[in-house]
Structure 1
Amino acid sequence: MQKRKLSGQPSESGSAKSGNSIGSHTANQSPAKTVTNHSSSGITDVMSTIYETFMSGSTQTTGLDDEPTDPGMAKKRRIAGTMGHVIETTMKATVEILARTEFQGTRFGYIASKWTAPALNSNSVEFPNLSTVVRVVEGDTYDWALQMRDAGSKNDNMPVCVLNFANAYTPGGGWLGGAQAQEEQLCYRSTLIDTLHNRFYPMGDLECLYSPNVIVFRNSVDSGYNLMSVDDKLHQNPTVSVISMAARSKPGVVKEADRLTYKDKAQKYLMIAKMQLILRTAAHNNHRRLILGAIGCGAFLHPAQEVADCWYEVLMNPEFKGWFEMIYFVIMDSPAVNNLQVFSETLDGLHIA
Structure 2
Amino acid sequence: MDSTVPIRGTKQYNDRRPALRKIATETLVAIDKGFILHGVSHELEAKSNDSKKRTAYYAPDSLLSMWSTPASSSTSPPPLTQFSILEVSTLEAARLLSTTAIDSEKIGVLNFASAKKPGGGFLNGAQAQEESIARSSTLYPTLKTATAQNFYTLHNKDAKDGYYSHAMIYSPGIVVFRDDDGGWEEPIEVDVVTSPAVNAGVVRKSLMGQLAKKGTEEKIERVMKERMGRILFLFEQQGVKHIVLGSFGTGVFQNNVGDVARIWASLLHTPGARFAHSFTRVVFGILGKKTFNDFGTVFNT
TM-score (norm. length: structure 1): 0.65
Cα RMSD, aligned residues only: 2.7
Compute the displacement of 1:220 (Å): 1.8
Query: Take 1:273 and 1:279, find their aligned partners in 2: how far apart are those partners?
Result: 10
CA offsets per residue over residues 257-293 of structure 1, 9 Å max, x none? xxx9884311110000011001100000011111101
Structure with the higher helix share, 1 or 2: 2
2-structure distance, mates of 1:116, 1:135: 30
The 1:81/1:347 distance shift into structure 2, 3 A limit, reads same
Cα offsets for 1:77-133 (capped at 9, x unmatched): 6522322311211111122355332564355321235634333543278x9623111
* SS of the residue 2:28 aligns to: helix
Q: For each residue in 1:177-236, what CA deviation from the matched residue of structure 2 results, as whole angstroms up to 9, or x when unmatched?
A: 111010000000001111113332135511221111100111222xxx02225xxxxxxx
* Match of residue 99, structure 2, among 128, 133, 150: 150
The code of the aligned residue for 2:266 comes to E
- Gaps spanning 5+ residues in structure 1: where? 1-71, 230-236, 254-259
1:192 to 118, 125, 139: 139
Aligned residue in 2 for 1:99: 45
CA distance in 1, matches of 2:126, 2:117: 13
Distance in 2 of aligned mates of 1:128 and 1:175: 42
Matched, 1:321 2:279: no
**1:344 correspondence with 2:293:** no
1:182 corresponds to 2:129 = yes
Cα deviation, 1:39-83, whole Å, max 9, x if unaligned, reads: xxxxxxxxxxxxxxxxxxxxxxxxxxxxxxxxx966x56522322
Partner in structure 1 of residue 286 of structure 2: 331
Determine what percentage of the aligned residue pairs are the same residue.
Answer: 24
Offset at residue 163 of structure 1 (A):
0.7
**How far off its partner does 1:319 sit?**
2.3
Give CA deviations for 1:295-351 in whole Å, capped at 9, x if unaligned: 1100111111111112222223542231111111110115xxx21111111224x8x
1:82 aligns with 2:19: yes
CA distance in 1, matches of 2:18, 2:118: 23
The residue type paired with residue 341 of structure 1 is N
| Contact kept? 2:19, 2:125, Cα under 8 Å | no
Number of residue pairs the alignment of both structures matches: 255
- Residues 117-159 of structure 1, C-alpha deviations (whole Å, 9 max, x = no match): 333543278x962311122111110111111111124xx8232
Alignment partner of 1:100: what SS?
helix
The reply on whether 1:160 has 2:107 as its aligned counterpart is yes
Structure-2 change in CA distance of 1:219 and 1:128 (3 Å): farther
2:179 aligned with 1:219: yes
Q: Give the partner amino acid of 2:106.
A: P
Pairwise mapping of residues 1-353 of structure 1 onto structure 2 (< 5 A)? 78-96=15-33, 97-102=43-48, 104-106=50-52, 108-112=54-58, 115-117=62-64, 118-119=66-67, 120-123=69-72, 129-153=78-102, 157-197=104-144, 198-201=149-152, 202-203=154-155, 205-221=165-181, 225-228=182-185, 237-249=187-199, 250=201, 251-252=203-204, 263-315=216-268, 316=270, 317-333=272-288, 338-348=290-300
Answer 1 or 2: which has greater strand percent: 2
Equivalent-residue separation in structure 1 for 2:139 and 2:150 (angstroms) = 15
Does the Cα contact within 8 Å between 1:272 and 1:310 map onto a contact in 2?
yes
CA distance in 1, matches of 2:17, 2:296: 32
Quickly say closer, same or farther: Cα 1:115–1:186, change in 2 above 3 A: same
1:90 alignment partner AA: T
Is the CA contact 2:173–2:191 (under 8 Å) kept in the aligned structure 1? yes
Larger radius of gyration: 1
Q: What amino acid maps onto 2:285 in structure 1?
A: V
2:58, 2:167 within 8 Å by CA — same for their partners in 1? yes
CA separation in 1, counterparts of 2:115 and 2:14? Answer: 29
